[in-house]
Chains A and B, each alone.
Chain A
Amino acid sequence: MTELGWTSVADLARLIGTKQVSPVEVVRACLDRITALDGTLRTFITVCAEPALQAAHAALARVLAGETLGPLDGVPIGLKDLFDTAGVRTTAGSRILADRVPGTDATVVTRLTGAGAIVLGKLNMHEFAYGPLGRNAHYGDTVNPWDAGRPRVPGGSSSGSGAAVAAGLVPAALGSDTGGSIRMPASLCGVTGLKPTYGRVSRAGVLPLAWTMDHVGPMARTAEDCALLLGAMAGYDPADASTSVLPVPDYARALSGSIAGVRVGVLRQGFLDASAADVAAGVEAAARMLQSLGAKTDDAAIEQMEHVPAAAFAIVASEALAYHAGWLKSRPADYQPDVRERLQAAAFVTGAQYVRAQQTRALIRDAVDEALRHRDLLLAPATPITAPALDETHADIRGERVSVTAAMIRLTRPFNLSGHPVCAVPCGFTAEGLPIGMQIIGRPFDEVTVLRVADAYQRATDWHRRRPPLAS
């Protein structure tokens, strides 16, 4: 199969702009890979082959006419199936919305297609984004392309986005992240994923899980590609009152390769010491690599971590129930069992407990700010374990038996509560060949530094270039 499936967004945009590659050729290459591999991987719910080819021909016409091209002109992308797309069904991975066809695009979809991107299709996900494993009873479980001999979960809830990028079916995708749903699949599938600062990217037209915790962001093979997509997506949107009017920097231009003097705090307590030994070793090695590139590292800690599970549970459960209550009454049997159970459990959270959780959240946000007071970034594992097998329900972490579901979100959701920007980056492999991911956490609205360090790390390493066994 063609190498175009493995070409980065940045390279595709350059090759298309210089007439070395046709966008039609690129879209066809992706469609060929989907045809060949997606029967096994189940990353797509809807493939938009004909509209994508039409858009590719239009992009080719712009190239040949010498028109000014958008930064993503002719580049195919996938969308987690909770981004509204005009005329294309948007299911949120559910039976309940199986036939829902929006009349308009989500703001980020409008912005990305306005920059020239071509929507290749809608990607599989944990039903209604309410689960960290990426399981889906209605459209089939997405399979992680990194299998190490056993079918493994891709991580969720943006499971199709992570697996499709990892398998070279599409160069980039959009995900959403309420407790780690961009960073977990990025970590387990060996790709790069960015959760921007809360308010940096519009959520208008994105089906919600929990309004105050939902973030929208790009997933791709490189930090540079995430920077290109973020630049096209970010900025104030009158349709989303939570978006900031702060100007949007040129993220891609800020990737200088230099990180000399950047102050990085390594989160050991509650992060590295709560992770499997091989995961912690991968992140420690990455910290040493950053040091060798000129960063200054020290040990850091975040207070209030013990209250994260309760605060996150009360907020996500209450907000999710507020959205789902009608369907939970009228169509309970149409939810997959784990999602129905989470929604039912939310009925036993009181209003006062929800407010108390939001009060605790303020303390957690302040604690993250405090850890960043004298530092530019924090470094931590993205997930404490690598991809579990589909049938594994528990994992051993340093002798402690923990539920896979609970372990998976342990290290990511503090930053959904706090709203800080985080990039998940591949930083190694276990002995059995499974990817390890780390989080690079920055100050609010400082995605520039987060991406600059992630990019510099990727210039010095090749973890993000490795190809999974189920994708060749």
Chain B
Amino acid sequence: MTQPYEWSVAEAAERIRDKRISSRGYVQALLARIRDYEPSLHAWAHLAGDWAEAQASQCDEDTVRGVSRGPLHGVAVAIKDNYDVIDLPTRGGSDLSDDKPAAADAVAVARLRRAGAVVLGKTAMTPFAAMDPAPTRNPWNGDHTPGGSSSGSAAAVGAQMCAAALGSQTAGSVLRPAAYCGVVGLKPTYDAVSRQGLMACAWSMDHVGVIARDVDDAALLFGVLTGAGPADSKDSDGQITVGIPDRGFDISDASDAEAFVGAVDVLAKAGAKIVSVEVPDGLQSLASAGILVMYAELAAFHRDLYSRRASEYPPRLRVLVEAGLSIAAPDYVNALRVRHHAAGELSSALAGLTVLLTPTTTSPAPSRQGSTGDWRFNLPFSASGHPAITLSCGFAKNGLPLGIQAVASHGREDFLFKVGRLFQQHSDWHKRRAPMKAGPI
């Protein structure tokens, strides 16, 4: 018999709907698991256990009356600390932020709750979604980073403290931690999900994102977040064409690259057509423009607070704010123009493909001392706004998870789910779980 913390979102929803478990019983099981492992994992910024139990009890009362709030009725989720959740402070991973409780839920949070989700609390993140590490550890090996900035969301899902969490991505802050923690991370098309109530990092590159343990759950949550319902493929019978870039996505260790080769082989054997894709010349320009835009917008967000409290800023963020302040307005405008042009080139390259497939990261999770890892494989697609998903595809020789990143044309999340489902139907990497032990990891 499986334990409640092992269930996917869809499995938990089904059991609660069928009254095989109450929402409160489910939430209590997750809270017990969190109590066991949080002292060593540090995934949570604010755990709202009593409130979660109260929300769950209200769901149970609705269940008794025959009322279902929606597809997430009674299922617990975690929210990254840069989203507003009513009556909780939005600290964005930093005590430099206003401690005042949010007056309303962010749109993404409201949509989850309207669909019946129970909020367990806020997850830890790097301060202001930048590069200074959060205290969170990787559930697969506590000496390694869970990635960032959605550190706690990825670690909590990877450690089976909850089945799904909200993250956010500006460069690689959903896909990278999801890959490092061996779970699924989805960054939808830019603007597909409202960012109202999400604390900005860099406005024109911030994306709402989802972290879950399988593709079906990611698709379910995406449908709830967009308000469009289940995100099924629009042309499910079509041939799947997977493009492999001819350069620019080399993994640092050749033996770790075997996992990517194996993943391509899984898709080929499952019927996908594999083609080599010439990477557009503009991809490097896209990444460069994205970095400049990100740093300039980050500096614009922080300029006032930084002018008053610079000495309290964490060291990496301080460097990044100063770098952003040094970027001249004509260079920022030019970066926007180049980004627009280069994103168009990338759209053309994606047009004939179901997805472009790359490794998600340059390596498995590095040591947690001072780094949240490298976002260079994710940043171009955050700059271009194309939707991307990461799927667990094996393990490095040091035992840490590795991921594949699939990227599709704007608005074609259904392609990501189609390829992702095919991959997970023909592999079992997504069923592997971190070998959690009670006490220090």
Are chains A and B native binding partners rather than an unrelated pairing?
Answer: no
Q: Show the binding face of B for A, using Cβ within 8 Å.
A: none
